[in-house]
Amino acid sequence: MKLDELVAIDVHTHAWKSALAVDEKRTESQEAMGRYFRYQPQHQTVPEMADMYRKLKMGFVVFTVDSKRSAEGKISNEEIAELAHKNSDVAIPFASIDPHRGAEGVAQARRLIKDYGVRGFKFHPSTQEFFPNDRIAYPLYEAIAEAKLPALFHTGQTGVGAGTRGGGGIRLKYSNPLLLDDVAVDFPDMPIILAHPSFPWQEEALSVATHKPQVYIDLSGWSPKYFPPILVQYANTLLKEKILFGSDYPVMSPERWMADFDKLTIKPEVRPLILKENAARLLKL
């Protein structure tokens, strides 16, 4: 990856479509998310995503979510890693393992790190139905921390299940960012990324990120024009080296995010930090 040729690094994208077994039909959850985000998510394989990001001169972190309630299609961590490595000029593979998988999941995590070269792990507490500080997840964190890799957690409200009967069974309580304060204490050498503006717990997220040195915030899943003023204030000051660009593609296009970010009152010297430099340092690129 030639960093000097990239304008940004998108740390939050989802692979929804397998290059091996293509199914064009959208799920009910995916259709609901399209209505929630007012944008019909696109189905692309990892190589197709790489072509798109290459044209945008951006790198991107890509993953699926290992959960029975997620909106992703049937695509494996292994496929994502293999295809990302084939497009390593722009693609960075993360993996996802449901903590409820127990010892088998921990063994899979170690195998993905050793044999597939994944560069981090994605968790979605609300769809995986666990509190991040529940000890059920700690053996997974131990494997991730030993490899000195980052763990990215969905925080705040989610578009998954939004507007469907009973919210599709999704419980928002699991994704309070304050729960990750415990994880940051217990795993001080594991970088943690709090994904998204954490509505309705934005101040909790800012508190954890300012207090714990290894905790970052990505700005994915929201148009920057809707960012609360306190988030913009902290991004410009106390957290300027810990805020990361993320789009949440395919539910939001990086072009739309960047266009709205251009209109935000971010200091000129802070913009390159958020768009690329912070991520490059965190991911050791």
Per-residue pLDDT band for 114 (boundaries 50, 70, 90) equals very high
SS3 percent helix, strand, coil of the chain, rounded to 5, is 45, 10, 45
Rg (CA), the chain: 17
- Burial (CB count <10 Å: 0-12, 13-18, 19+), residue 260: middle
CB atoms within 10 A of CB 263: 9
Rounded to an integer, what is the distance from CA 227 to the centroid of its chain?
Answer: 17
Q: Considering only 25-34, 115-124, 147-156, 270-279, which range has the smallest mean pLDDT?
A: 25-34
Q: Which residue has the tokens 């990120």?
A: 209
Tokens at 109, concatenated: 């995590």
Whole-number percent of the chain with pLDDT over 90: 81
Inter-axis angle of helices 46-56 and 254-261, nearest 10 = 30
The single residue listed with the structure tokens 């494997």 is 143
Is the distance from CB of 231 to CB of 262 less than 8 angstroms? no
Say which amino acid occupies 269.
Answer: E
pLDDT band at 165, cuts 50/70/90?
confident
Query: Which domains, from first to last, does the chain contain?
Result: 3-282 (3.20.20.140)
What is the reported pLDDT for 217? 98
Report whether 124 contacts 65 (CB < 8 A).
yes
Q: How many CA atoms lie within 13 A of 193 on its CB side?
A: 29
And the tokens for 30? 């995916």
d(CA 237, CA 10): 21
Predicted local distance difference test score (pLDDT) of residue 71: 56
Q: Flag whether the pTM goes above 0.85.
A: yes
pLDDT 10s digits, 132-164: 999 999 999 999 999 999 999 999 988 786 778
How far apart, in whole angstroms, are the C-alpha atoms of residue 12 and residue 149?
15
Query: CA 35 → CA 13, 41, 60, distances in Å?
Result: 19, 10, 25
Summarize pLDDT for 229-266 with one digit per residue, the tens. 999 999 999 999 999 999 999 999 999 999 999 999 99
- Per-residue tokens: 230: 């306190």
Give the residue among 78, 80, 75, 42 at the shortest CA–CA distance from 60. 80
Q: What is the pLDDT of residue 146?
A: 98
Q: What is the DSSP letter of 187?
A: -
Please tell me the distance from the alpha carbon of residue 134 to that of residue 99, in angstroms, as a whole number: 10
State the pLDDT confidence band at 199, using cuts at 50, 70 and 90: very high
